[in-house]
Structure 1
Amino acid sequence: MHKLLRQGLVLQLLALLFGVLILPVQARVISDLYEVVEAVPSRGATDRAAAGSRGLERVFVRVTGDASIGNNPNLKSLLPKAQQLVQGYRYTSEDNQLYLHLSFDPQAISRQVHQLGLPMWPNNRPGTLIWLAVDTLKEGRSILREEDAPELFSVLEAMAIERGVPLDFPVMDLNDQRNMPLGSLWAQDESAAERAALRYSPDATLMGRLLQASGRRWKADWLLIHGGRSYAFDSSGGSMEEVALRGVNQMANLLAQRYAVRPEGQDAEQGAVIVELSGVSSFADYAEASAYLRGLAQVSSADLLSVEGDRMRLALVTSVGLRNLRDALALNHKLRANSDGDAIDLNGYRAPLGSADNPLRYRWD
């Protein structure tokens, strides 16, 4: 896996490994969803066009969250026209291999996603902390560290770039080894994952145990913990790298299913949700909070209803379900869910969550 595709995440990992403080593994805005690198045999127009088609398909995988989007017949007809969506390109060479760097126009891609009726996964995405353990025929069980399996971690970084998901790994120093011992990791102990995650504050935690069943047969069990829910799944393949890649790919699929905005008419209801924010103590806070809510891909409009002291109420018009909206709001760590202010109870009737009598309540920190 060549260095160009890995550079960004490798730098992040180096900063994590050598920094004095451990940085939180939180949601991040992915800025390079629309940039790809393709190996090409020449600088000719034909090879550039072919690389553009391949690159455009990769971009659509990232922005829709659908790994099989290339099979969509509508997208297939668009791929030969990829050069119409290219914003810029350049060539580089490494180890006698020529590479074409392509930048696609985000607004043009967004228009095509809308016109084709495809889901759109916003670029604010949950950061995931990955813990890995392995059981080999020769050496038995151990926790996987980057220095012990550099090729494995390299391909995982490359997969993270391909799917547009922020991935991080624990530093595995004495603190991590104490908080997440091998036995707890192999048992996929959720309480241990919660304790170990306090150091990193990730949006999601993925625990994987990779088992070598025979010389060329591997299988893995995975547990994704995110937003108060757990998702168990498995993968299999001919190598440790293959089962790990499939695990991260499935993790990306699950996150995309949770956060991708579906076109109107696909399990979506257009409606207003009342949100109350406290801690809005200045005009700067008001402007920042309003801009954030209006900028959410899940929100088509955010109308101010009232301001009382440090509290503001807004009506968010959204085409996604309430759960999906709350998931999206949870990715902003300046928003803290606030249970202050009980719902009005009228003769045993509890107002629906997100209504005027029972708004979604958050504190803006």
Structure 2
Amino acid sequence: MKLNVLVPIVAICSLFFSMSSMALSEMSPYQGVVPADNSTEAQLQEKALEQVFIKVSGNADINKLEGSNALDSQLSSIMSEFGYKTVDNKSYYYANFDKANIDDAIRAMKQPIWSDGRPEVLIWLLNENKKLTSESMIGGELSSGLLEGELTRGISTQFPLMDLDDALAISEADVGGRFYQTMGQAASRYGTNTYVAANLTNLGNDQWELKWDLVEYTAANKKSEVIIKQVSNGNKTSVMSAMISEIADYYADKFAVLETTGEKTTQTITIKNITSFQDIIKINALLENLNAVESFEVVNMTETEVELLISLKGGIKSLTNALNSHSKLQQNLITPSPFDYNWQP
């Protein structure tokens, strides 16, 4: 019995958007969004395509590779929607590209494909006044730097509300002192286990220093792992954009899948704590949308657990990273198998 026949997967894509109200995590990596400067529309289409190559492959230098211009002559046929949008008095050009054509071109360049596992990173930022930055305080050069990095690399960020709940859970001293467990526990409110702890300092003459750590927090064992520790210098826009780019490099290395040729690798996984048929439907949808998964089928099922045989596009590491990134799947730490999970309803 194949699990993926239980329910159709419906893809919903929003073609018209407002960047001020729509989370970038909801935007497809196959949508290019570039500033509408004095370039011609043909040039803007090429820039949008180049941006999509970067976002889908996770490689910031992919457009330097041979074959990166292979689709330039087919732009009109591989775009499903395009147009202009004004945000904060700035005009943007956007274009949606056909996934199959983009993926084929990236594979031809022997590059990986990163279509899932895109985190929304929470940022605990101490600004130049040593105050925690809330979502409502984002603007100006800070906003420009974040937007530039997010649009180019296809990941999104969020800032805390800094309301009463946050004020009771975290303080400026916690961020400045890098009390990772406190920050991790406070971040769980925002549905993420990934956060940045950062300090922004004004050096004068439009020069800024950004000290930041990328941290992954595991609530089950209350452990924090510092993934990146970095110091950047430059204007405010550039240091924020550079931070986003480095975070994207890390996640692209973790989640982008370089497809193997020949016989596919397979791996059996077990998912326990299933309580209803709706859980099965949700598991089906989750696996259908994992870029690391070629196909899957049920090999054993009871009322409370399911055992699946998964055929992989890439290696085992890609599958492990993809599964462990989902909050609905909690690795069973009391068993020796790394592919034994509990489903979180």
Alignment of 1:241-252 (within 5 A): 241-252=237-248
> Would the alpha carbon gap of residues 209 and 270 (structure 1) be closer, same or farther in structure 2, given more than 3 Å must change?
farther
Alignment of 1:1-365 (within 5 A): 8-11=18-21, 30-31=27-28, 33-39=30-36, 41=38, 47-79=40-72, 81-91=74-84, 100-135=93-128, 141-155=130-144, 156-226=146-216, 229-264=225-260, 270-339=264-333, 342-343=335-336, 353=337, 359-363=339-343, 365=345
* Partner SS state of residue 130, structure 2: strand
Spell out, residue by residue over 1:320-353, the C-alpha distance to the aligned partner (whole angstroms, 9 max, x if none).
444432321133333232346x44xxxxxxxxx3
Shift of 1:63: 1.0
TM-score, length of structure 1 as denominator length: 0.76
The whole-number CA distance in structure 1 between the counterparts of 2:236 and 2:323 is 36
**Structure 2 letter corresponding to 1:61:** I
Match of 2:4 in 1: none
Shift of 1:291: 4.1
Shift of 1:157: 3.5
- Bigger CA drift: 48-57 or 220-229? 220-229
**Structure 2 letter corresponding to 1:143:** L
**Structure 2 letter corresponding to 1:209:** N
> Would the alpha carbon gap of residues 310 and 92 (structure 1) be closer, same or farther in structure 2, given more than 3 Å must change?
closer
Spell out, residue by residue over 1:228-273, the C-alpha distance to the aligned partner (whole angstroms, 9 max, x if none).
53223324333223212211221111111111112327xx994222
* Partner SS state of residue 260, structure 2: coil
Unaligned runs of 5+ in 2: 1-16, 219-224
Match of 1:19 in 2: none
The whole-number CA distance in structure 2 between the counterparts of 1:256 and 1:134 is 28
Shift of 1:99: 5.5
* Partner SS state of residue 127, structure 2: strand
* Partner SS state of residue 55, structure 1: helix
The whole-number CA distance in structure 1 between the counterparts of 2:259 and 2:192 is 29
The higher radius of gyration belongs to: 1
* Partner SS state of residue 121, structure 1: coil
Shift of 1:120: 0.8
Contact 1:28–1:124 under 8 Å retained in 2: no
TM-score, length of structure 2 as denominator length: 0.80
Unaligned runs of 5+ in 1: 1-6, 14-26, 344-352
**Structure 2 letter corresponding to 1:11:** S
Shift of 1:127: 1.9
* Partner SS state of residue 62, structure 1: helix
Contact 1:280–1:286 under 8 Å retained in 2: yes
